[in-house]
Structure 1
Amino acid sequence: MSAQTLSSEESEWDGARFGREESTGVVFGLDFLQVLFLGIGMVIAVVFVIAGGFPGGTLAAAGTVAVFGGLGIPRVFGKSFLKWVQVFVVSLSRRRTGQNEYMPEEEGIDVAIGDDGVQLLPELDVIDPPRRSEDTPRDKKGRIAPLKPARLMLPGEFGELLVYQMPGGSAFAYDPTAKEGVVVAQISTHKAFGLESFDNQEARLRAWAEAEATIAGIDGVLRVQMSDQTTIVSGAAVLDHYDQEVNNAQVAEDPDTGEKVHQAGEAIDPFLHQSLVDMLSAAEGQPVHGMWMSIVLSQTKLAKRIHSSGRGIRGFMETALVAMGAIESALPESGTEVVRWHSPRSLAALVRSAFDPASSVEISERGDDGVDVSAAGPMWAKDSLATFSSEGALHRTFKISEFPRSQAQLGFLSGFIFSGDFRHTVSVYMKPRDIGKALKTNERSRATWGTNETIRQKLGKQKTRRNDRQIEDLDQEEEELVRGHAALKMTILITVSAFSEEEMDANISQLKTSAARANCELRVMYGQQDSAFMASATPLGRLSV
């Protein structure tokens, strides 16, 4: 214990902490909408004084200032009161017009592929892409010859995604509206981070930071989604995985019989082996952790490279294959590796199980067969202010709005990942930023704080420790950028699923306990539950919250 404490004190991560939630604003922490609203109130107050005189006009002006100030200044859960009014108005409007409820349409849009890539036409019969055995071909010049894609039937704006199959069987999800492409990797960690020594944890964290910088530096990467989903799978599927691991174990010769046996399972401990087999055979489902990494690429930023690689969708796919190779080589040092790149059917399986958690056991029994792409979306979904409902399940998505306020411990997010044996997904988003632009933004923020402090002093306002900490955060950010750290904007979302309000309350209670232990603050994504669910629980990299 003392040795670990000493290592921690001598660690380069000693004293590491996260910045507070930004509240720089335009002036005094007020955003543009607040400043505009208060400005309008001041103008109306001045008109009352001029037109009404004293005392009537003055009283009317005082009342106006009180009303506008009461509505325009307060901030609730990180948002101004005015923005919350917008959220409630939009939510109410969607409910009145029925836009918060979704049922899939029978018809889709067609996609015809010409020499230059993809051309969208009005109508389409939605079909499933080929399986791995029917690999995507290349023409005589070695260029990818894209086959007809399938459309993901999803709610609202998310229904524009088209799924292609690339050479090798990997899925390529293309958004023709946002001009983005998404590839999804199944990842695994081959070491138990929490069981390693402090020095080894540091080494892995250092390697992971380097991997993050490498991935962020890949041309065209817009966002990276890394998710860990606790779900329920078939006990038979777990047993099959166990048998596969036993068969892949090292083989040794028995000195007594001369027989070659695998050094795992029954050969190590017959009693424990049989107990595990009996338990898995009797269990309907077992909680497991599925991990994926989604890479979102920008067609606009990669326009030149796409053009030189064959143009259109084929050029975009070629560029994605290069990025996938770079990611595979960047991860292993951190103890993480790409197990495989999801195929169209396995990608559809992840999406389907997100909307319908009850189908997770059935889907897991299918293995690599997955789900038809056209059947990945929900048959029914409904969005409300605090929940998102689909296929009889309830989902609520939270955002980690405040990270540890004191010393951040290595691996503190594990408390959320292992917060309980219930369906939940923890998704970490990294959005790469240009170093130069990040430094300029930092400089503007510090200048704004300097101006605010000058005005505060002139008005005789007391200096607060909270303001000092936010200035320290900006200084720390500048120092890290100058030292060469990757400029990343981090967002962490957590989706909790249940099949009743009582179950949801119990699951959320466990999650909040984990948040308290990690010294983090959770915030419900009120009014954004549909887009927050898509960003957190599905592997499509669609961060719009």
Structure 2
Amino acid sequence: MAGEQNPDRGLAPVKFSRLTRRGLLLGLSLPQVIVLGLGAAALIGALYTAGGQGLLLAGPVCGLCALLVWVPISGRKAIEWISLAGHWALRVVLGQTVYRWRVTKPRPAGTLALPGDAAALRQYLDPDTGAVMVHDPHRATLTALVEVTHPSFILLDPDEQQRRVTAWGRVLATVCRSGRIARLQVLERTVPDSGTGLEQWWAAHGTDDGSWVARTYAELIERAGPTAERHVTTLSLSLDMKAAARAIRSAGHGMRGAAAVLRAEMRTLTTALRAADLTPSAWYAPGQLAVLLRSAYDPAVAATLERSALGRDLATAGPVAVEETWDRLRSDSAYHVVLWVSEWPRSQVYPGFLAPILLSSGVRRAFTLLYDPVRADQAARDIRKKKTGYLSDAAQRAKAGQIEDAEQNAEYRDVLQQEADLIAGHGVLRDIGLIAVSAPTVDELDAAVAALEQAAVQASCETRRLVGQQAQAFTAAALPLGRGL
């Protein structure tokens, strides 16, 4: 993402790199090259064995290969649907699209009681900070999360907005320089206002003198239900236990050593957040994480859980039932759909361009940004590889007499800009944007999805509904566990 200062305002516009579409050979991906190779092998084999009549035999095979490679279906080439549909069919046959919590069979101690591939996640209570850390034994990560409060960005003046954008860039640069961070997740979600804010205000500013007015006011606040919605932002910091193996051994081995290394990264992130005028809370305890997980799968009880001491056990925080279909997910009290931000704005936009999505009212949604930092040496190798690939493809197209594509030239300029930014000392992050939309009925869900898609258009973004992987996508988009796709 590149910026250029606007002389008329203090706020600088930004420009995102395009989603690269360069394939293995002449814009073709590896599956496309394999299918074309099979078609060519069938044609050559038929010519050698049957001569001219072999063309009639190999014609249907070559035609099928050409259709798979070049015919698009719903924005994807036909060949790309084969692996997705095959994996989905296998999961349906194995019964992996339906989850039921077995009440009579307790889950293993220390688990989070989550369905699907998140069932392997374990909790670890840090004795020093009291924070809960989520351990993923398969991906070798350890994750902690913190809630962050901040003033409304769009209400600030341009100079202050630019200062905060620069400060947030320094926070991301801090994550990149660590070398031990696997992922930083930013989750901004809407939740029903449970009335706890009114209670806190009354406790801080009210005068409870025992009078009839004070008692009546306190009763009204206590009985007030969720009449509005509020926004909650959390940051999830995931430690790469393989990259930090040496530091973990020095800190005491095992989960104890990993927790010590993660604590150091947590302190660094907290310091960077405060320098960016962001106010981090205490790192989440097990009860807070349990409420968040339960609320994601069962939104109907979210307000009740926040107002009471119930539902704060991670052993029972998971859903009772989950049913996944091709393009949506159903959990305890809601239907869900996950959208992928497939294209960020191609033209220059100002920070705050996501306001139509983040400030959309009347829609329960969770917006997630997954940042995967890339080490400087690896980023440099990737950029050199991309440059070599683009130049090689350009030479191949010139030999074949093909005209240069403006989109490919734009992608090459993005690579050159990334190289310049890396040389200037900036970090490289791979990011994914996901939007999880929830509603109590299918009709309300379809209306909410349509509203979010229209809001994305206003934000100059392109969204696509993920299919065949809604359960995994929901875990990545709606839960602050640092999970990817």
Same fold (TM over 0.5): yes
Partner of 1:221: 181
Q: Report the alpha carbon displacement of residue 401 of structure 1 after superposing the two structures with TM.
A: 0.7
Determine which of 307, 318, 325 is the counterpart of 2:260. Answer: 318
User: Among the aligned pairs, what percent are the same residue?
Assistant: 27
Measure, in 2, the Cα distance between the counterparts of 1:359 and 1:233.
12
Partner of 1:143: none
Measure, in 2, the Cα distance between the counterparts of 1:329 and 1:53.
74
Measure, in 2, the Cα distance between the counterparts of 1:154 and 1:223.
21
Measure, in 2, the Cα distance between the counterparts of 1:320 and 1:312.
12
Measure, in 1, the Cα distance between the counterparts of 2:203 and 2:453.
37
Determine which of 342, 354, 357 is the counterpart of 1:401. Answer: 342
Partner of 2:135: 174
Partner of 1:101: 98
Q: Report the alpha carbon displacement of residue 541 of structure 1 after superposing the two structures with TM.
A: 0.8
Whether the aligned pair in 2 keeps the contact of 1:108 and 1:151 (CA below 8 Å) is: no
Whether the aligned pair in 2 keeps the contact of 1:381 and 1:388 (CA below 8 Å) is: yes
Measure, in 2, the Cα distance between the counterparts of 1:446 and 1:53.
43
Whether the aligned pair in 2 keeps the contact of 1:227 and 1:426 (CA below 8 Å) is: yes
Whether the aligned pair in 1 keeps the contact of 2:14 and 2:351 (CA below 8 Å) is: no
Whether the aligned pair in 2 keeps the contact of 1:102 and 1:382 (CA below 8 Å) is: yes
Q: Report the alpha carbon displacement of residue 83 of structure 1 after superposing the two structures with TM.
A: 2.5
Partner of 2:388: 447
Measure, in 2, the Cα distance between the counterparts of 1:223 and 1:7.
30
Measure, in 1, the Cα distance between the counterparts of 2:30 and 2:92.
28
Partner of 1:39: 37
Whether the aligned pair in 1 keeps the contact of 2:328 and 2:335 (CA below 8 Å) is: yes
Look at both structures and tell me which one has the larger radius of gyration over its CA atoms: 1
Determine which of 412, 429, 450 is the counterpart of 1:488. Answer: 429
Whether the aligned pair in 2 keeps the contact of 1:186 and 1:338 (CA below 8 Å) is: yes
Residue-by-residue CA offset, 1:283-337 (whole Å, 9 max, x unaligned): 4442111111111112222222112212211111111211111111001232312
Measure, in 2, the Cα distance between the counterparts of 1:81 and 1:439.
34
Partner of 1:355: 297
Q: Report the alpha carbon displacement of residue 407 of structure 1 after superposing the two structures with TM.
A: 1.2
Partner of 2:198: 239
Q: How does 1:6-405 map to 2 (within 5 A)?
A: 8-9=6-7, 14=12, 16-54=14-52, 56-74=53-71, 79-105=76-102, 106-107=104-105, 124=108, 126=109, 150-166=110-126, 167-189=128-150, 191-235=151-195, 237-244=196-203, 246=205, 282-366=224-308, 371-405=312-346
Task: Count residues with an aligned counterpart.
Answer: 473
Q: Report the alpha carbon displacement of residue 244 of structure 1 after superposing the two structures with TM.
A: 4.9
Whether the aligned pair in 1 keeps the contact of 2:475 and 2:483 (CA below 8 Å) is: yes
| Cα distance, 1:276–1:108 mapped onto 2, change above 3 Å | closer
Mind listing any 5+ residue stretches in structure 2 that lack a counterpart?
A: 208-212
Measure, in 1, the Cα distance between the counterparts of 2:272 and 2:218.
36
Q: Report the alpha carbon displacement of residue 527 of structure 1 after superposing the two structures with TM.
A: 1.0
Measure, in 2, the Cα distance between the counterparts of 1:227 and 1:394.
19
Partner of 1:144: none
Measure, in 2, the Cα distance between the counterparts of 1:222 and 1:7.
32
Q: Report the alpha carbon displacement of residue 8 of structure 1 after superposing the two structures with TM.
A: 3.1
Whether the aligned pair in 1 keeps the contact of 2:145 and 2:236 (CA below 8 Å) is: yes
Measure, in 2, the Cα distance between the counterparts of 1:493 and 1:176.
24
Whether the aligned pair in 2 keeps the contact of 1:380 and 1:390 (CA below 8 Å) is: yes
Secondary structure at the counterpart of residue 348 of structure 2: coil
Partner of 2:355: 414
Measure, in 2, the Cα distance between the counterparts of 1:285 and 1:151.
34
Whether the aligned pair in 2 keeps the contact of 1:512 and 1:522 (CA below 8 Å) is: yes
Measure, in 1, the Cα distance between the counterparts of 2:425 and 2:123.
37
Measure, in 2, the Cα distance between the counterparts of 1:491 and 1:213.
17
Secondary structure at the counterpart of residue 151 of structure 1: coil
| Cα distance, 1:37–1:280 mapped onto 2, change above 3 Å | farther
Whether the aligned pair in 2 keeps the contact of 1:402 and 1:521 (CA below 8 Å) is: yes
| Cα distance, 1:282–1:201 mapped onto 2, change above 3 Å | same
Measure, in 2, the Cα distance between the counterparts of 1:399 and 1:187.
24
Please report the TM-score for the alignment, with normalisation by the length of structure 2. Answer: 0.91
Q: Report the alpha carbon displacement of residue 77 of structure 1 after superposing the two structures with TM.
A: 6.2
Secondary structure at the counterpart of residue 481 of structure 2: coil
Q: Report the alpha carbon displacement of residue 196 of structure 1 after superposing the two structures with TM.
A: 1.2
Name the amino acid aligned to 1:401: S
Secondary structure at the counterpart of residue 385 of structure 2: helix
CA-based RMSD: 2.5
Measure, in 2, the Cα distance between the counterparts of 1:300 and 1:321.
16
Residue-by-residue CA offset, 1:447-469 (whole Å, 9 max, x unaligned): 21212222222222222222221
Q: How does 1:503-542 map to 2 (within 5 A)?
A: 503-542=444-483
Secondary structure at the counterpart of residue 294 of structure 1: strand
Residue-by-residue CA offset, 1:369-415 (whole Å, 9 max, x unaligned): 75111111111111121111110311110111101121122111222
Mind listing any 5+ residue stretches in structure 1 that lack a counterpart?
A: 1-5, 110-123, 127-149, 248-260, 262-269
Please report the TM-score for the alignment, with normalisation by the length of structure 1. Answer: 0.82
- After superposing the two structures, state which structure 1 stretch, 166-175 or 357-366, moved more: 166-175
Q: Does 1:462 align with 2:423?
A: no
| Cα distance, 1:533–1:472 mapped onto 2, change above 3 Å | same
